[in-house]
Amino acid sequence: MNTHLKTVDIQQLILALFLALLLIPSLAFPTHLLAQTVFPSPIDDSEPESSSVAAPAVANPSAPVSLTRLQQQFWTAIKQDDDWALSNAIYAGASPTSRLANGNTALHQAVVIPSPHTAAMLLKQPGVDINARNNAGETPLMLAVLRGQIKMVQSLVSAQAAVNHPGWTALHYAASATYEQAPEMIALLLDNFAYIDAESPNATTPLMMAARYGSSPNVAVLLESGADSKLKNQQGLNALDFATAGAMPDSIAMLSEVLLKIETLPAGTW
């Protein structure tokens, strides 16, 4: 009997303590927090909807990652010249042939930034068109020339980038450049069989561009390499006319001297 009473007393004590806990607000679990708390299921393979933190490179390509997020990682890797992150993004499904709104491919962007490591990796990817044109009709080689990136140009040419094609060419861009190494860039392209008298859509040649927009050293290297100073574009203008329009005294002097020599050559001689 005593044992039975003790058992009853203990049960009553436990019940009393339980009721006391419920009546003390500070010890009760806050129901408003319970409503805001999401407990993950044992298997949760859903994608995070958004994040303010930049996603890292894909360490496990087999893990599910949204295409948009992959492409963001892809373009970020190019911007940061991170070939490891770029490789992971491509392996996980990012397309190396994607384009931006301006028509630039990933290779265009790698040239523009510049990102030599990611450019080298992109050149090894199947489907990457080394001669792709953006919305302005420019190839990666043309952009590399425009920015005076001699090493990048060498890499692209070694990878069989087209030096010659109809319309504006890389040589036109090099000829009109004003950076210090422009003559070296012109020589590099000529050494790789750039057509020296290539015609733009209106028949403007690299020599004409050098005479009007470039520098006298550009004109000199083109003349020494055999550029034809007599050629005229569709407006009937030759390189001397271009130099005159641009008020380029040194180029005017060089071109005038060359044209004078041509005019005074005996008939039948070169």
Q: What mean pLDDT do residues 37-55 have?
A: 28
Question: Can you say how many angstroms the Cα of residue 192 is from the centroid of all Cα atoms in its chain?
Answer: 24
Write the secondary structure of the chain as one string of H (helix), E (strand) and C (coil): CHHHHHHHHHHHHHHHHHHHHHHCHHHCCCHHHHHHCCCCCCCCCCCCCCCCCCCCCCCCCCCCCCHHHHHHHHHHHHHCCCHHHHHHHHHHCCCCCCECCCCCEHHHHHHHCCCHHHHHHHCCCCCCCCCCCCCCCCCHHHHHHHCCCHHHHHHHHHCCCCCCCCCCCHHHHHHHCCCCCHHHHHHHHHHCCCCCCCCCCCCCCHHHHHHHHCCHHHHHHHHHCCCCCCCCCCCCCCHHHHHHHCCCHHHHHHHHHHHHHHHHCCCCCC
What tens digit of pLDDT does each residue of 162-209 get? 999 999 999 999 999 999 999 999 999 999 999 999 999 999 999 999
Q: At residue 16, does pLDDT exceed 70? A: no
Q: What's the pLDDT score for residue 32?
A: 31
The least confident of 21-30, 36-45, 103-112, 148-157 is 36-45
Q: What mean pLDDT do residues 151-166 have?
A: 98
State the chain's mean pLDDT as an integer.
82
Residue among 100, 143, 103 at smallest CA distance from 119? 143
Q: With beta carbons less than 8 A apart as the criterion, state whether 215 and 181 touch.
A: no
What tens digit of pLDDT does each residue of 49-97 get? 322 223 333 334 444 456 689 999 999 999 999 999 999 999 999 999 9
Between these two residues, 15 and 171, which has the higher pLDDT value? 171
Cα atoms found within 13 Å of the Cα of residue 241, Cβ hemisphere only = 11
- Structure pTM? 0.74
**Structural domains of the chain ordered from first start:** 65-140 (1.25.40.20), 163-270 (1.25.40.20)
